[in-house]
Each structure stands twice: as C-alpha cells, then as structure tokens.
A = this chain, B = another copy of it.
Amino acid sequence: MTEHAYIEDIAAHEGKGVTLKGWLYNKTDKGKLQFLLVRDGTGIIQAVVFEDDVSPEGFEAARAVTQESSLIVTGTVRADKRAPGGYELTANAVEIVQLAEDYPITPKEHGVEFLMDRRHLWLRSSRQHAILRVRAEVVRAIRDWLDSHGFINLDTPILTPSSCEDTTTLFETDYFGERAYLAQSGQLYNEAEIMSFGKVYCFGPTFRAEKSKTRRHLLEFWMVEPEMAWADLDECMRVEEELVSYVVQTTLKNRAEELKTLERDTTLLEKVNPPFPRLTYDSAVEILHREGVSIEWGDDLGAPHEVVLAEHFEKPVFVHHYPTQCKAFYMEFDPERPEVCLSVDLLATEGYGEIIGGGQRSASYEYLEQQVEQLGISRQAYEWYLDLRRYGSVPHSGFGLGLERTVAWICGVKHIRETIPFPRLLGRMYP
C-alpha cells in the first residue's frame, strides 16, 4: 500500500500515490464517475473514482459508501485549480472500513436540542470542527505567550475546602467525611505560588452551579489565571492587552481557513492591538446615563451595560476602579478613595461583553483579616491565605480570562455552548 498521507499535507504529494484514511463527508453519483468528498480531520478533499480505474469491488464500494462511513482511498494527487483546497485525488482503490447506516445529522436543518443530544456526532460538522480548531489555537497562543514571558504554569486544586466567592453557586462533594467544593478560581493558590515563582498561571476547568440559562454561561468552563508579584493595576492592564492582542492576531494568522468557514467578519479583530482604551467606572456610568441606560453608582455592570459601553469602541475596552462594594473581598482599594478599588474588567467588542476580570490584590494583613471577619467567612479556612501577608507580602495583581467567551468572540458565535466539546448546561450533562 502507498504511504498514508494527511489531507493538510497533500500539496507535498502532488503527482504521487497516497493512501487517505477518513470518513465520507458527501458524494455525487454520476454513474461511471463517483465523486467522494473525504475528510480526515485535517482537511477535506475530493476523490474522483472512475469505474475503469478501480477494481469492480472498489467501484462498488464507492457507489455504496454512505455519509460518515469510514473508508480508505488510494490514488494519485492532482493539482486542480477548481478544487476547494487546490488538489484532488484520482482514485485507484476504494475500501469501506465500516458502513454507516442512517447517519442522523444530514445536510438539512436540525433543531439545537436534536444536535446537542448528538454532540458526539455533531462535532464532525465543518462548523463545529472549525470552532474547536480555533479553541485549540487560542489555548496554544495563551500558553505560548505566558511561557515566553516568564510565567510558570502550575495547576491549582479543584477540590477545595471553601470558596473565595459566592457559596450558593458551588458544586459540593464528600471528601471522606469532609465537605469539598469544586473550585471557581485558582487565584488564591496562585497568590501563594507567586511568592515562590514571581509570575505564575493556572489553566483548568472551573465550576459554577448557577441556575441560569444564558448564551454566556456554562456550568463547567475553562479559565486561565495569570498572577504576578510586584505588579500594580497599570501593569496588570498592560499584560492583559498584550496577551489578548497576541492571541487574536495569532489566531487570525493560523486559523484563517476556519474563520472563513465560520464566515467571521474579522475587520474589528484585526484592530486588536495595544493599547486598549481605558475607562474608569465613573466615566462608564456617565456614558450609560448619557445613553439613557439605568444604573446607579455602586451597581456592578451587567451584560446589557457592557454591550452599550463596548459599542463606543473599536477595540476591547478596560473598565477599572469599580466600587469596592461590588468586587471580591481581596481587592486592593484605592488609598486616595477607598470606595473604589484597583479592579479592572476587559469588555470585548461586538457585544461579547466581559472576557477578563482582575486587578490588584490587597497586600495588607490587617485589611484582609478585617474583611474575612466582616464577611463571616471561615477564618480557619483562610489562615493560610492571611499568612501570605504575614511573610513577605508584596503588591501583586492578576486576572482570569474565560476561554469559552474568548473563543465565542473570536469565532463570532452567538452561544457559548458551541465553544467546548461537551458543554455542561442547566439540564444538560449528556453526552
């Protein structure tokens, strides 16, 4: 048998014989000529099967093969300007490995629940394939940038004795008699690690048991959380805009084909380069009032506010110095104006809303001790966290970037459920 080749490398085999192993994506029957669209995960190519070129069994296979059957096709690679990828295969052998009968997802329109029930098969459609290739590229770009900028990747625990955020949205499990919760963030652990490593990041699954069904929420999603010793709010924003710009530009370059498949208008994405506009929370409220949007100073910004704000900018926009009361207990407050804190959210363009939350953490033992007491959170569970301010406390900052929201934004997909292979949603844990 000739060499097994991948479709993405097909140009290197022009004029030569290759064996392709894949699945039938589609076909056209022209009697003595069978046109088989074959996909192998790396690309799609048309195999032209002429009755006289193959054995009777091979031609019968080409005639009989059905959508999503697995098959092996051997033939010669020919350049063809009219072909989608610029090449096609003149087949001299066709073998069906397993004949698929009545594949349920056909070229006709299907409802979302029908497709979600068949997510394990829906993944094969060109649109889902493209979105998840973009996802993998985004993951790689994030890691490449952080790895090459002095950040050490360390994994923080999922099973934790308590949470740093709202305890009503926690998944709980029994840990040999103790109660454990699935982590919503690795940040507090990152804060311990930076005292040893300087700059770190964790990148793993996070969990929110939120009883809400929106196009922006998953119960299980992935988040990258960089944390930096000796960095203030300003440095935090600089790192965020550099990272996000690198990720967007790298994806535009390496996943141009996929973004074309998704019919993504990349005009605004091409402009994603530092610096990003910076807006104080105060100015954000002013803009919203001018636009007639109802908000009171002190309220957190919700998705509708974020959409209105983002419309004023052609790039992602930072909103910083939120009211201290609407951010987490560990945020550093502004020493000149304690009612606001050194927090920052990054809002994506085109209505995609918040993709990053972060800011400068309090370095003060006294302030955090008081916060833990006032909030009535377990002193004992946070003793180790307070230790970080007892032994070599430093100013430090960090942030969390939501992977699925970022992928949805770059791909231009409306609902976050398509940006992860097997989404976990309210009422949906299968497949």
B394 touches A129 (CB 8 A): no
Docked Cα-Cα span, A118 to B94, in Å, equals 64
Known A160-B429, A176-B427, A198-B40; contact A384-B155, beta-carbon cutoff 8 A: no
B-binding segment of A135-143, A307-315, A322-330: A135-143
14 more A-B residue pairs beyond the given contacts A41-B152, A98-B363, A103-B391, with a C-beta to C-beta distance below 8 A: A6-B150, A21-B229, A97-B392, A101-B390, A119-B384, A120-B189, A128-B196, A159-B219, A172-B174, A173-B182, A175-B429, A178-B429, A192-B431, A385-B431
Instruction: Write out, one digit per residue, whether chain A residues 15-47 have a CB within 8 A of any chain B CB (1) or not (0).
Output: 000000101100000000000000011100000
Known A173-B182, A175-B429, A421-B193; contact A120-B384, beta-carbon cutoff 8 A: yes
Between-chain CB contacts (< 8 Å), 11 pairs: A41-B152, A41-B199, A101-B390, A119-B384, A155-B421, A157-B424, A158-B158, A159-B429, A161-B430, A193-B421, A385-B431
- How many copies altogether? 2
Contact residue among B100, B121, B132, B196 (Cβ-Cβ distance under 8 Å from A123): B196
B-binding segment of A48-56, A204-212, A260-268, A342-350: A204-212
Contact residue among B124, B143, B222 (Cβ-Cβ distance under 8 Å from A143): B143
A198 surroundings in chain B (CB, below 8 A): 6, 40-42
A363 surroundings in chain B (CB, below 8 A): 98
Instruction: Write out, one digit per residue, whether chain A residues 384-415 have a CB within 8 A of any chain B CB (1) or not (0).
Output: 11011111111100000000000000000000
Docked Cα-Cα span, A70 to B121, in Å, equals 55
Contact residue among B118, B211, B390 (Cβ-Cβ distance under 8 Å from A176): B211
Would you give the shortest CB distance from A386 to chain B, in whole angstroms? Answer: 10
B155 touches A189 (CB 8 A): no
Docked Cα-Cα span, A42 to B424, in Å, equals 39
Q: Does A76 contact B (CB under 8 A)?
A: no
A196 touches B41 (CB 8 A): yes
A199 surroundings in chain B (CB, below 8 A): 41
Which residue from chain B places its CB closest to the CB of A122 in the assembled complex?
A: B196
Known A123-B193, A173-B172, A204-B204; contact A394-B159, beta-carbon cutoff 8 A: no
Q: Does A354 contact B (CB under 8 A)?
A: no
Q: How many residues of A contact B (CB 8 A)?
A: 93
Q: Does A180 contact B (CB under 8 A)?
A: yes
Interface-central residue, A97, A101, A196, by most chain B CB under 10 Å: A196
* Interface positions of A from 352 to 381, Cβ below 8 Å from B: 363, 381
A176 surroundings in chain B (CB, below 8 A): 209, 211, 426-427
* Interface positions of A from 205 to 246, Cβ below 8 Å from B: 205, 207, 209, 211, 219-220, 222, 229-230
A194 surroundings in chain B (CB, below 8 A): 41
Q: Does A422 contact B (CB under 8 A)?
A: yes
Would you give the shortest CB distance from A195 to chain B, in whole angstroms? Answer: 6
Would you give the shortest CB distance from A330 to chain B, in whole angstroms? Answer: 15
A129 surroundings in chain B (CB, below 8 A): 196-197
A159 touches B103 (CB 8 A): no
Would you give the shortest CB distance from A209 to chain B, in whole angstroms? Answer: 8
A381 surroundings in chain B (CB, below 8 A): 430
A421 touches B154 (CB 8 A): yes
Which residue from chain B places its CB closest to the CB of A132 in the assembled complex?
A: B154
A118 surroundings in chain B (CB, below 8 A): 384, 387
Q: Does A68 contact B (CB under 8 A)?
A: yes
Would you give the shortest CB distance from A173 to chain B, in whole angstroms? Answer: 5
Interface-central residue, A24, A140, A195, A421, by most chain B CB under 10 Å: A421
Known A98-B392, A123-B192, A193-B123; contact A136-B153, beta-carbon cutoff 8 A: yes
Q: Does A289 contact B (CB under 8 A)?
A: no
B133 touches A152 (CB 8 A): yes
Contact residue among B42, B124, B173, B204 (Cβ-Cβ distance under 8 Å from A205): B204
